[in-house]
Structure 1
Amino acid sequence: MSSAGPAPVREGLWRRLTASMNDPVLRALVTSTAVSRVGRGVFLTVTVLFFTQILGLGAGEAALVLAVSSACGVVASLVGGWLSDRRSARRIAFACEALGGLLLAGYAFAGDFLSALILASLSGFFDSVGHSARSAIIARGLAPERRVHARAVLRTVTNLSIALGSGIAAIALALGTAPAYRVVILAAGLLCAIGSIPLLRLPSGVDAPARSTTALRTDTGSINTVAQAERSDWRRRSPWRDPRYLLLTVLSAVFGMQFGVAELGVPLWITQETEAPTVIVSVLLVLNTALVVLFQVRASRGTHDIRVAGRVTMIAGWLMAGACFIYALAAGLPTWAAIAVLVLGMVAHTFAEILSQAGAWGLSFELADPVRAGAYQGVFGMGFSLGALASPMVVNATALTYGLAGWGMLALIFLLAAAGIMLIARRAASVAPPAAV
């Protein structure tokens, strides 16, 4: 009895991750992610400080560089999805991620605002194209009940790798010299490029089925009826003609502003409105990462069922609304109480993030037309990019401007978005055949 007790705790997370490696598609994606996201972790940690302290950019210039990079990512998501339905998704993912990594390495040689802007824009564009291609690969290369699990595994690996990358970046932060920053950035960019190599081992089944692109003509010059009908069917299956999916994309983008709350709203709220020490920002980030690593895979079970995906998204909406009010309560409290409240808020926030991501993955796959998997995933990715662009403005215009009332506005926004997603899922489940639910 004593020997059987601790086994599940000791093996749980590791067993869930290693068991996934039996699938060749997921194995290649996990290997690629584990390497490339270490490099991304470095960039997430040092980019803004590199721009301001080494290149001498102002805060406004640094923000503009990052905003333009994100805007390029919006367009690139559509391009990546479009290409993945017409060309080899695995080759697109490899080429774009390799090129994006090399461009990131080019930061080490940047010397002014213009060079930083060009490199950030191009690297953001190619990285987003590669991300859309990866989504198409998951949609085509894995069984429906395995797609959300794959996303959860990849997110867990991503968080672990980013944490490792942040540790490497600490070398540059500790030394604080321009050569240290440039060497670390160069190594990180090369890691991102090297991480694309495992994608070449993906099986050909992840690519879109071959389409007939040749329109045979009769003696009178009329277009072959079969080819014409195929093209008409292809256009009819466009995600832009699917109102339900477009609404899902918009609502998911709105809920995705939760990341802006964590990255911008909470740190500024802590430093401007609470008595908590600034270091608590790092503590909350570590807490968030640890909870995602521990619970993302487990919380994603069953969310390939669209009814389950809708329910967990609604739970996430209530958790996120609660987190907003908890964060607001930290203002004016003594230091120890503010820290305790902020930790509680981050726990609620993180579980809202975990559940909402699981629900979004399930619905984005199950409500998409499998024939146009790349285009659908590209549109969904574009929505998240737009949400990321809008979140700083929305968070600033609500919580950071109006305090408790502003946090209440944010809570209502997240609740309404979650409710809308749940209604879409319920409606889809009610009209879908039993095998699809």
Structure 2
Amino acid sequence: MLLITLVDRVGSGLWASVSVLYFTYVSGLSIAQVGTLVAAAGAIGIAGAPMGGRLADRFPLTRVLVALQLIRALASLVLLTTDHYAVLLGCTAVGGFGDRASSVITKLYATRVAGPDRVRYQAINRTAANAGWALGGLAAAAALTLGTTAAYQWLLVGDALTFVATAILTLRCAEPPSPSRTVTTSSDATPTTRPANPWRDRTYLAYVATETVLFLDDAVFKVGLPLWIAHTSSAPTGLAPLLMVLNNVMVVALQVPLARFGATTKAARTLLLPLSAVFALGGVTMALSATGTAASATLFLTASAAAFTLAEMLHATVSWELSVALASDTAQGAYLGVHGLAQAVQRSIGPLTVTAAIAAGPLGWTGFGIGIAVTCMIQHRLVRDRLTRKSLSVAPVTVSEH
């Protein structure tokens, strides 16, 4: 599955780096049309996380993942055949839907295969994903030096081929045992208990709401830092891509070692406290970058990027463990699908949040960091009673499929 993640993210790196440019220069869309297309497709794609989780509770994970990868490949290839706006919107939405759904299913696969080692497995998986993104981005950058329509089209073909490759690789993976799907051979077997419904689980929904805030570090790197450097800071504009490289290098080098600090449910919850301090530090150093010389601005921005990257890695560790620990054992897919909404929704509200922080100036960034820090402490308190009750309960009996 790690190789599958690497190949999948190489394709995502190829397309994510050029999608806006493709729609602009190849499809001939205006800036407003491109913005509307990306926003609408992202909103539609939000449904991928919960629907993917539901499917994973009812059907074999590997079969669902193969189907999703082939659908993503088809959506990418159809983009090559038309400039019709409605079709472009539909294909982009399908691609976003497949991306969110496959992400949830990959996480669920890790949960079932790795068991108590799921945090370390997810850390290695995330390292592979970041490496794939980097490789795809470098390949896209090299192809874009040509600046031709054919170069854009071949990048899109490469994206589609990576999805086909992941589908083929997935067929070779063993199906993990599932506690939510059972097979009964006895004719007089009693009916199974109805699976828990995450949409009626107020504690889990509140947890997901706090997760949406904690995922805002993603918007900092994609929107916040570049805009802040370009319009407010005295630091050189060329610093923005270098800070993105710093983010990627730190994740690849440190995600796996840091995972050991959240290897258990209790440790993961405890990690929320230092995480709150790191988020606050990121906001304060971002605010300080608006003062002083270009050298001091560069120093503070680098410190802020490092702090938000550390927060990103620590939160990833906490999130992997708590999202599973808080979920019902009989409906893991459905619960993780709802959890996937946090990241999907953040992609919509994140850019608005960081631009609001930029508009408010240094105080805005200070408030941004402290606001996320407070949310960490709220989450720390929110999950306490639920985790205590679950640890005292009798472990559920899992019926394996045959």
* TM-score with structure 1 setting the length: 0.84
Match of 2:75 in 1: 103
- Counterpart CA distance in 2 for 1:332 and 1:238 is 50
- Counterpart CA distance in 2 for 1:114 and 1:279 is 36
Please tell me the residue identity of whatever aligns with 1:61.
Q
- Deviation (angstroms), 1:249: 1.0
Question: 35, 53, 76: which one pairs with 2:7?
Answer: 35
- Deviation (angstroms), 1:180: 1.1
- Counterpart CA distance in 1 for 2:78 and 2:121 is 32
**Range with greater deviation from structure 2 (372-381 or 202-211):** 202-211
Note if contact 2:69-2:167 (Cα within 8 Å) is conserved in structure 1: yes
- With a CA cutoff of 8 Å and minimum separation of 6, indicate the structure with the bigger relative contact order: 2
Match of 1:377 in 2: 336
Note if contact 2:45-2:94 (Cα within 8 Å) is conserved in structure 1: no
- Counterpart CA distance in 1 for 2:98 and 2:180 is 24
**Range with greater deviation from structure 2 (72-81 or 97-106):** 97-106
Match of 1:10 in 2: none
Gaps of 5+ in 2: 396-402
- Counterpart CA distance in 1 for 2:95 and 2:373 is 34
**Range with greater deviation from structure 2 (297-306 or 411-420):** 297-306
Match of 2:229 in 1: 270
Match of 2:399 in 1: none
- Deviation (angstroms), 1:166: 0.8
SS in 2 for 1:300: helix
Match of 1:149 in 2: 120
Gaps of 5+ in 1: 1-28, 217-223
1:231-277 Cα deviation digits (max 9, x unpaired): xx324x11123222111111011111111121111111110111222
- Counterpart CA distance in 2 for 1:436 and 1:290 is 42
Match of 1:78 in 2: 50
Question: 17, 29, 44: which one pairs with 1:57?
Answer: 29
Q: Tell me whether 1:246 sits opposite 2:205 in the alignment.
A: yes
Structure 1 or 2, whichever has the larger Rg, is 1
- Deviation (angstroms), 1:209: 5.1
SS in 2 for 1:433: helix
Structure 1 residues 20-419: aligned runs within 5 Å: 29-143=1-115, 145-207=116-178, 210-211=181-182, 226-227=190-191, 230=192, 233-235=193-195, 237-397=196-356, 399-419=357-377
- Counterpart CA distance in 2 for 1:160 and 1:436 is 40
- Deviation (angstroms), 1:335: 2.2
SS in 2 for 1:142: helix
Note if contact 1:274-1:330 (Cα within 8 Å) is conserved in structure 2: yes
- Counterpart CA distance in 1 for 2:79 and 2:231 is 32
Note if contact 1:69-1:120 (Cα within 8 Å) is conserved in structure 2: yes
1:212-238 Cα deviation digits (max 9, x unpaired): 799x9xxxxxxx9943xx3xx324x11
- Deviation (angstroms), 1:211: 4.2
Please tell me the residue identity of whatever aligns with 1:98.
L
How many matched pairs? 395
SS in 2 for 1:276: coil
Note if contact 2:235-2:295 (Cα within 8 Å) is conserved in structure 1: yes
Identity of aligned residues (%): 28
Cα-Cα RMSD: 2.4
SS in 2 for 1:116: helix
